[in-house]
Amino acid sequence: MHLGVLYRITKVITSLGLQINTANVSTYGDRVVDIFYIKDAFGLKIDNNKSMDKVKMSILKTLEETDPANQMTRS
């Protein structure tokens, strides 16, 4: 786990003009699971696949920049 990862993820989400409604962070041994419930700028559910893919790809890009070995995104 790298310092500042949650900050980087939340920065990406807000930079896309989205709101973080709720966030849950859990640890399971050496594994960390973060869940973000996000809404669009108007407070509405994001149900457009294109928008969800943009969020996902933006977060993954940030994680890859943070962890070049891509260890955090492996299952």
Residue 20: which H helix or E strand, with range?
strand 19-28
Q: Is 73 helix (H, G, I), strand (E, B) or coil?
A: coil
pLDDT tens string for the chain (75 positions)? 567 888 999 999 999 999 999 999 898 988 888 899 999 999 999 989 999 999 999 999 988 887 766 555 544
Give CA angle at 72 (68, 57), nearest 5°. 75
pLDDT at 17 (0 to 100): 95
Rounded to two decimals, the pTM is: 0.77
Bridge-partner residues for 35, per DSSP? 24
pLDDT at 75 (0 to 100): 47
Q: Give the DSSP letter string of 23-48.
A: EEEEEETTEEEEEEEEE-TTS-B---
Question: Domain limits of the chain?
Answer: 5-66
pLDDT at 59 (0 to 100): 93
